[in-house]
Homo-oligomer: A and B are copies of this chain.
Amino acid sequence: MPRKLKNIELNRLSPEAFKNAQKTPMVLVLDDIRSMSNVGSLFRSADAFRVEKLYLCGITGKPPHKEIRKTALGAEETVAWEAADSVITCVENLKKEGYKILALEQTTQSIDIREFKSVEKALALILGNEVDGVNQEVIDRCDAVLEIPQYGTKHSFNVAVSGGIALWELLSRQLP
């Protein structure tokens, strides 16, 4: 019978080992994410996929914050992050550093995320506000816009869920 593993048996990295471990060549840019729960949850997913860094732009909440901690469970202390007042400046800097700039958004020219193939080394994935999505001025600066196909009545997933799905879809075939 399968037995549930105790936390200690999962052999996760220590915070120290995580700091020194090779990261996935991917950063997340959070563009005006309002909910601290979503920010915390994205930190936790970023930890699981060894994302390089989170850029917390505009009104996006920043650690330390009780509500972020409640869903990040400490991942806000393992994953590198940086606050950026202007998402535009942040994205332009990432572009100069050689990142391919991707937004997760439903636009006139979005690519089904299943079809997206990148040979580029480093990706920057932008996730937007819970109601308004990624700002249009940010979309204008993207190399590609990706979309998760949806078949129901609602317009979108919760942003922490769509971020998790996108990370998984972009990374899972190259993870060990």
A-side interface mostly: loop
Structural contact, B151 and A49, CB atoms closer than 8 A: yes
Structural contact, A75 and B2, CB atoms closer than 8 A: no
Q: Which of A121-176 contact B (CB under 8 A)?
A: 133-134, 136, 139-140, 142, 145, 148-155, 157-158, 160-165, 168-169, 172-173, 175-176
Structural contact, B114 and A154, CB atoms closer than 8 A: no
- The size class of the interface chain A forms with chain B is 35 or more
Interface residue stretch chosen among A26-34, A54-62, A102-110: A102-110
Q: Does A20 contact B (CB under 8 A)?
A: no
Which of these, B37, B142, B149, contacts A37 with CB under 8 Å?
B37
**Stoichiometry (number of copies):** 2
Given contacts A49-B150, A149-B172, 16 further A-B contacts (CB under 8 A): A2-B108, A2-B109, A4-B139, A13-B151, A21-B151, A41-B160, A48-B152, A50-B151, A74-B153, A74-B154, A75-B152, A157-B164, A161-B161, A161-B163, A165-B165, A168-B169
**Which of A's residues lie within 8 Å of B, judged by CB?**
1-5, 7, 10, 12-15, 18, 21, 37, 41, 44-50, 71, 73-75, 78-79, 105-110, 114, 133-134, 136, 139-140, 142, 145, 148-155, 157-158, 160-165, 168-169, 172-173, 175-176
